[in-house]
Structure 1
Amino acid sequence: MTPHLQASLFDQTDQLRLGPLDGIRRTVLGLGAWIDVLPGWLGGADALFGELAAEVPWRAERRKMYDHVVDVPRLLAFYGADDALPHPVLAEARDGLSARYAAELGEPFTTAGLCYYRDGRDSVAWHGDRIGRGAREDTMVAILSVGAPRDLLLRPVRGGETVRRPLGHGDLIVMGGSCQRTWEHAVPKTTRAAGPRISVQFRPHGVR
């Protein structure tokens, strides 16, 4: 059963349409890290949420933590470089991001990881995408969020002020430079009413 999504008052269309990327705004975080944010990049994002929630082959995972095996508090899906993405607009988004950041990144975005946060009890703990090249090289991770907004938090690895960005309803964030090595990010649990959200994370080859 798909959780109910409260539609955005600012996105009353079922027509999926990516806007231009020239309105993106960069925030320098420090330590060589930065984020680019573009609210509402995808029009019709609520319609896409419904299709992805219903049709993606979501999987639940269990992981060992200390002496226990626990449920991962979100559903997951992954599409490799040779896999067809679950909707054509996601391929369009990946290609548009690759073109936009070609000079700075030096390579295309190739993979897509999807996370389904069903309600406020679902979350992801503090981490950096350091499996593979992200542990030693500057790289980028671009996240397109559909569904209800949830806070993405970022903080320096060695301590410092936390940055908060609510993301949903077609918002885009790109984490670049040293962000995966020198900063961590998380989607915390919340006791406030929180609708369902799906994040689509586009990454270059060898970054997880």
Structure 2
Amino acid sequence: MQTLLFEPGVQNIADEVTGPITYQPAVISSATAADWFAALREQGDWHASTRMMYERLVGVPRLHCHYAITDPQLPKLLHDALAVVKQHVDAPFNSIGLNFYRDEHDSVAPHNDKLHELVSHQPIVLLSLGATRTMLIQRKQPPRLKTELELEAGSLLLMGWNAQLHYDHSIPKLRQPVGPRISVAFRVRPERDIKAW
């Protein structure tokens, strides 16, 4: 199983059997996190999208963009972010996906990543930038334990491949105002998917 390679300050959300899911705050400084957020907000190739829900087309409540690691258009700071992540997680990442939560109205519904879009037994790692948002992590089977995790700027969240079988995760809408946040997700995708980009 893939876990964060350092121990001090790591919070274990799920064990090695159903996960792992681990959280590490302050992997980069608050100043670096702020600089990276500002740059990605301006440089990201942001897109809005739609999806079918309840038999009607609705807007996805966040912006997003995706890069292959080999993409010539990959912003330099994402190379720097990848280098930081690989200091802590030993995985052959080849894909970076970004979600831009503009305010408290943007969200992502409970879900797990689609396993056919991931290389088996490779982790997903999220680097958080910008405002702190709450992620809800809930077991799919009884007891349906729920964890509310505050994702701070500069933190890393690792979700093992196996965790997608056992847990859903979400970023809920909020009633109170909150600033914008960018989630930078590092994944290992099958080569067929990378080439399709």
TM-score (norm 1): 0.78
> Which residue identity is paired with 2:25?
P
Cα deviation for residue 165 of structure 1 reads 1.1
Instruction: Establish whether residue 39 from structure 1 lines up as the match of residue 25 from structure 2.
Output: yes
Distance in 1 of aligned mates of 2:67 and 2:56: 29
1:147-194 Cα distance to aligned partner (Å, 9 max, x none): 000001111112411111111321111111511111110000011121
Match of 2:130 among 147, 152, 156: 147
Superposed CA offset, 1:107-145 (max 9, x none): 4111000000000100000111124155x9433110000
> How many pairs does the alignment contain?
184
Counterparts of 2:124 and 2:6 in 1: how far apart (Å)? Answer: 16
Deviations 1:33-77 (A, max 9, x none): 122211121222112111111121100001111221000000000
* Pair 1:73 & 2:61 matched: yes
Secondary structure of residue in 2 paired with 1:33: coil
What's the % identity of the aligned pairs?
30
Unaligned runs of 5+ in 2: none
| Alignment partner, residue 93 of structure 1 | 81
- Are 2:39 and 1:56 equivalent residues in the alignment? no
The alignment partner of 2:78 has SS state of helix
Distance 1:23 1:87 in 2: 31
Q: Which runs of 5+ in 1 are unaligned?
A: 1-19
Q: In structure 1, which of residues 180, 197, 201 is the aligned counterpart of residue 164 of structure 2? A: 180
User: What CA distance in whole angstroms lies between the structure 2 residues aligned with 1:45 and 1:200?
Assistant: 11
Alpha-carbon offset, residue 99 of structure 1: 5.3
- Is 1:124 the equivalent of 2:122? no
Matched, 1:25 2:13: no
In the aligned structure 1, how far is the partner of 2:72 from the partner of 2:24? 25
Equivalent position to 2:153, from 161, 169, 174: 169
- Quick check: 1:190 aligned with 2:174? yes
Moved more, 92-101 or 49-58: 92-101
Q: Is the 8 A contact 1:95 1:109 kept in 2?
A: no
> Displacement, 1:101?
3.3
Q: Confirm whether residue 157 of structure 1 aligns to residue 143 of structure 2.
A: no
**Normalising to structure 2: TM-score of the pair?**
0.82
